[in-house]
Amino acid sequence: MHDTAALCEAAARRLLEPGLPATAEVQEFLDWIACPVPADPGPVERDRALLLRAAGRFTRLFGLDCPTAPGLAVFGAEVPLDLLAASPGLPLAAASGTGASLLEAFFSCLGEGVELLASVETAADRASLRADPPHPVDADWLGQVLPAGAAPEGWAEMRRLDAPGSLWLPASLCFRSAGSGPPPWPLSIGCAAGPTPEAAALHALLELIERDAAALWWRGGSRGRPVALEDPAAAAAASLLGQLRQGLPPGGAGRRSWLLDLTTDLAVPVLAALSTDADGRGLCCGIAARSGRAAAARAAVLEMAQMETAHAVVLAKRREGGDAALNARDRAHLARYHGIGADRCALLHPEGAADPATALPDDPAAAFAAVTGRLGARGIPVLVRDLTRPALGVPVLRVLCPGLAVEPGRFLGARLLACQAASGGGDCHHGGIGLL
């Protein structure tokens, strides 16, 4: 790609106006990622065109290989967060996407890049902030989330979906901005792009459910359940894993993989896919919440394989530059990979009976409404803010649920504390080594 912006713009135009002539380079690119060009463009093509035009603003796009999953497609991107920011000073950010095909991985990466760009505080966002909010979020929860003595520089309005009205949160929990302190959890959590606002909102909410389940499991010490062979999740995971390990002899990946059911009291399917070396070391983990169990298992396996790819990248960095070349995230990855043994960590193994009877409606709006109702019944607000940026055009929404646990994150909260009190917590199993 000699000129990424021009190529992405031309590819977008090709999808929207297939009757117009296209250069050989554009057609070769679309053929390479196996992106079809139907004669009558529909919503899928319009969504992909918007993502391609946004990708033209990225600094770099690149592919990666996974030695333990040759069938995995991985794309990465560098995203200039300053592009839409109200104030300069934000660094480049990394986006990534995986899939069983180049097409799936490529557009997954572009979607994550758009999420990053849209999460930045723009001039319009800043103008909408208030110094004294009329309806602030719960003060007790906020006291746990913000550092002691921290005073928000501005408050952002979040529409409440579990009840009428709005609540106001510190802007630092809603947007990325230069100069703000470190957030209590990664701001990528609960921020999602989608082909429609309803799909984006559901994706964001399911990510919050996923990270709540991960926290209750890893830090809370709540054991996962087994996944029955009759469960559609088991068949989906086995089929995808066979595809990802393709080209390797039986056992040639040197990995052992299995599923855990992390579904919580919210009855939203959450599955974890785990893999280790043959000796039980080298833990890699993917966790996903989806409307259906098979989809959750598939997404979890892709995340697990992406973590295997990350380990290969970290090892390559260390070979080339030594330990000095590693950042904090790289070192945390190595600590988890080499510091946890499956023979000594009970959290990696199932407990209790399998229970596959969890699913949500297929329609995104209906699924979102179902989960919102379950959260509201537990007194957990569901707050949303539209982050769709006119310059990008892709629907992006941020969803926050004060009361859910978050992994990774530095705050505990009543839900996680109650889980730790009931189980004894997760640190006794893994010594405090981080999961994500």
The predicted structure's pLDDT at residue 251: 64
How far is 43 from 41, CA to CA, in rounded Å? 7
User: Using one digit for the tens of pLDDT, what is the confidence trace for 251-297?
Assistant: 666 899 999 999 999 999 999 999 999 899 999 999 999 999 999 99
Which band of pLDDT confidence, cut at 50, 70 and 90, is reported for residue 1? very low
User: Using one digit for the tens of pLDDT, what is the confidence trace for 385-406?
Assistant: 999 999 999 999 999 999 999 9
When pLDDT is averaged across residues 97-119 and rounded to a whole number, the result is 97
- Whole-number average pLDDT of the chain: 93
When pLDDT is averaged across residues 81-97 and rounded to a whole number, the result is 94
Torsion, Cα 147 149 150 153, to 10 degrees, reads 170
- Cβ contact 306:74 at 8 Å: yes
When pLDDT is averaged across residues 39-54 and rounded to a whole number, the result is 96
When pLDDT is averaged across residues 135-163 and rounded to a whole number, the result is 86
Which band of pLDDT confidence, cut at 50, 70 and 90, is reported for residue 249? confident
Which band of pLDDT confidence, cut at 50, 70 and 90, is reported for residue 9? very high
Q: Which residues contact 240 (CB under 8 A, 6 or more apart)?
A: 100, 297, 298, 301, 302
How far is 253 from 116, CA to CA, in rounded Å? 33
Instruction: Report pTM.
Output: 0.94
Q: Which residue has the higher pLDDT, 136 or 216?
A: 216
